[in-house]
Structure 1
Amino acid sequence: MTTTRTFEALVDEGVAAPVEGWDFSWFEGRASEERPSWGYARGMGERLARASAALDVQTGGGEVLASAPTLPPLTAATEGWPPNVAKATALLHPRGAVVVASPEDAPLPFADGAFDLVTSRHPVTTHWSEIARVLRPGGTYFSQQVGPASVFELVEYFLGPLPEDVRNGRHPDRARAAAEAAGLDVVDLRAERLRVEFHDIGAVVHFLRKVIWMVPGFTVDRYRTELRALHERIEEKGPFVAHSARFLIEARKPRHP
């Protein structure tokens, strides 16, 4: 098999793979990412077990919420992308959780003080004032988020060097300031950078199709030259290495104003 055919076959696999939800099992053996030391899903599950009413914001396909051993008597989730809404509903409805279709930039469709726990794994944006509004006094927001310049070795391979304000746009210090401005007390904030490896160009294609904000407007045709060069680099030198950025933030709404 020639290099050209191998390249085309791998790209075709990356294009054909479904992108709905946040199931990353397709990457098994093709890409890897270190996991943060704090264990978000475990911590989320522990908090859900103690909650009476919980909301998972931007739930994706509902996979992380569905992994919790116990859900509160009242559990809701929001999601803005229609294919994910359908997937999350199918996954969470049997657990007694309701999924509400709600755009990411819209106010949360719930009353003030409706929840004692709000969670979110890798939200595109965090609307801190809305989080604070729907939390009961004493309630908690628990979230793992993408940090600054995450996987930017790959992003900048395609886009070139990006300005510092873009590189630092998701800095945890900004999240702390925004949470406090919304009236919440930040009780935990931790950040880590984690090794990511892409073992073939198909994994790169699938990743950029799935995580669409990494290289906005990404298509194979638009970046075929760069993809081919990166394929040859991986074939010659081994996996392409990048580093993801993650931070954990836990914030609490004061019991008294």
Structure 2
Amino acid sequence: MDRGFDELLQEAQARPLIGWDLSCDGRITTTATPWNFEQTVEAHARRSPDMLDMGTGGGEWLSRLAFRPPRTVATEGWAPNVAVARERLAPLGVEVVEVEGADDNALQPDGAEQARLPFGDASFHLVVNRHESFVAAEVHRILATGGRFVTQQVASDFNADCYALLGLPVPELPRWKLDTAVAQLERAGFGVDDSAEGAELIAFADIGAFAWYLKHVPYVCPEFDIDGCRGALERLHRRMQGGEALAMRQKLFWASGVRQA
């Protein structure tokens, strides 16, 4: 294979991920979802005295939000991201609290109570969650009556396109889709009043960006290894050299609900 292919894979192996910026200097682009999650959150934030952002990553998304209530707090469960988030969000007046991450929602038993959030009952009027696991009962506990929870989640079959590109069999995973999320929320005492399902398209400018993405986002394809998948990567690289785009859909859904009494 040509030198360019080897260099791209070497870079993918060596390049670190800092925070949760998955753009790879613009070499990875993502199309918009059919809904505008950011605008939805901003609209609710303008009507709320406070907000909690669950799983803020490196604070990238929260820092870009056009409006944040005077009291805005963020949580993060991955230790390397906590310092990154604090450095980014402290100048904006946002406290970042390190927490224990919740188990994947699809794996939680009914009435799960693990991953207790370090906040008192009825501490917030708006809780926002973007691609983070959550325990519905805990979110319900920290919300005031009439408070709102807004979440965007990655569906359990989000990675089917990735497996197809690599020529790997798609694993069977516990079901996590809009209806299962709504059921968890309703059991916890939420009235879900808005939701939708859809997908975004993630496009890669070169094979190195694709390999780097899969290396640093291991839940997309746990079986992926740059050396072990070299043959598949080489095949995709040749297809790109022939003018074929490299992209995959990521299936998502979102839901919004109010804590009932």
TM over 0.5: yes
Which residue is 1:61 aligned to? Answer: 58
Identity %: 33
Aligned equivalent of 2:22, options 17, 21, 24:
24
Higher mean alpha-carbon deviation, 99-108 vs 193-202, is at 193-202
Corresponding letter in the other structure for 1:150: F
Supply the distance in 1 between the matched residues of 2:223 and 2:74 (Cα, whole angstroms): 28
1:86 corresponding residue in structure 2: 83
Alignment-derived partner of residue 107 in structure 1: 116
Partner of 2:2: 4
Provide closer, same or farther for how the CA distance between residues 126 and 199 of structure 1 changes in structure 2, counting only shifts above 3 A. same
TM-score norm. by structure 2 comes to 0.87
Provide structure 1 residue ranges, at least 5 long, that are not aligned to the other structure: none
Flag the structure with higher helix content.
1
Q: Distance in 1 between matches of 2:186 and 2:248?
A: 32
1:225 Cα deviation from its structure 2 partner: 2.6
Q: Which residue of 1 aligns with 2:112?
A: none
Does the 8 A contact of 2:28 with 2:209 survive in 1?
Answer: yes
RMSD value, Cα: 2.0
| Partner secondary structure for residue 213 of structure 1 | coil
Q: Which amino acid aligns with 1:95?
A: L
Note the alpha carbon deviations across 1:73-105, whole angstroms, 9 max, x for none: 222111111221111101111111110111212
> Which residue is equivalent to 2:109?
none
Q: Report the more deviating stretch, 34-43 or 230-239.
A: 230-239
- What is the CA–CA distance in structure 1 between the aligned matches of 2:67 and 2:246, rounded to whole Å? 39
8 Å CA contact 1:176–1:186 kept in 2: the answer is yes
Deviation >6 Å, runs of 4+: none
Determine if the alignment matches structure 1 residue 38 to structure 2 residue 38.
no
Q: Is the Cα contact below 8 Å between 1:19 and 1:209 reproduced in 2?
A: no
Contact in 1 for aligned 2:163/2:170 (Cα 8 Å): no
Deviation at 1:112, TM superposition (A): 1.2
Aligned-partner SS, 2:242 = helix
Shift of the 159–131 alpha-carbon distance from structure 1 to 2, 3 Å rule, reads farther
What does residue 140 of structure 2 align with?
132
Supply the distance in 1 between the matched residues of 2:168 and 2:245 (Cα, whole angstroms). 20
Counterpart among 208, 213, 232 of residue 207 in structure 1: 213
Q: Does 1:146 align with 2:154?
A: yes
SS at match of 2:200: strand
Q: For residues 52 and 212 of structure 2, what CA distance do their matches in structure 1 show?
A: 30
**TM-score using structure 1 length:** 0.88
Q: Secondary structure at the match of 2:43?
A: helix
Measured in 2, the distance between the counterparts of 1:161 and 1:37 equals 28
